[in-house]
Amino acid sequence: MLDRNSIRAQFLPLPGSAAVEWRVAPGLTPYPEALAFMEARADAIRTGTAGELVWLVEHAPLYTAGTSARREDLLLPDRFPVFDAGRGGEYTYHGPGQRVAYVMLDLKKRREDVRAFVAALEAWIIGALARFNVRGERREDRVGVWVVRPDRPPLPDGSPAEDKIAAIGIRLRRWVSFHGIALNVEPDLSHFSGIVPCGIKGYGVTSLVDLGLPVTMADADLALKASFEDVFGATAEPATPLAAAS
């Protein structure tokens, strides 16, 4: 089996497909509302009554549990609200300063290949980070995007320290995706201490600002949009409010 670095990164739609709707939500989006909206939109995409969508949001501080979450990895259960997300993966954190991008795509119009889809999501994040001269990397045994930290003490095995800068957690239903990615722009990194992020011990978390880059959320959004188009194809700004388009 090919490792993810060897998988073709582009995940373009069939010729003639409509551009992916690209929306940025203002303020903080309540997590239950986001879950309900994604469920409804994914159903509409499956039935052909709505188009593909990338929805960029921020949430108030919270933890989410994926389908593989282990209770012992929730270290501070009373710190923030905890939600069952229904996506793959384990525990993760969302909060202000973190850009969450919910990705609702029809893989039947692209490639019916979950592994390639995850590789494409990673390529999207890596391409966005490259626009800030940050080298994001995959790890075959760890989903997400990682940054090597030569400024930190090495790991016990002598390998360089690494921090996670972006998480990925998806769900597919009849080849329509929902949930997505979370890129750390300037969240409170201490909030990650209430969980074992994604069930992976021995590694840290970082953000663009933690790396010394004065990146705003608007800057990150522009980089994400440009990189998304490289990997997944054209996007289009919405012409109607979100509720009307759902």
Q: How many CB atoms lie within 10 A of CB 212?
A: 8
- How far is it, in rounded angstroms, from Cα 90 to Cα 98? 18
Which residues, in sequence order, are CB contacts of 164 under 8 Å at separation 6+?
142, 144, 145, 146, 147, 197, 198, 200, 203, 204, 205, 206
Instruction: Select which of 24, 181, 198, 220 is catalytic.
Output: 198
Establish whether 198 is a catalytic residue.
Answer: yes
Side-chain-side CA neighbours of residue 225 (13 Å) = 17
Q: How many CB atoms lie within 10 A of CB 217?
A: 18
Q: Is 83 helix (H, G, I), strand (E, B) or coil?
A: strand
- Measured on CA atoms in the order 145, 17, 226, 245, is the torsion positive or negative? negative
Which residues, in sequence order, are CB contacts of 146 under 8 Å at separation 6+?
136, 137, 138, 139, 162, 163, 164, 165, 203
Catalytic annotation, residues? 198
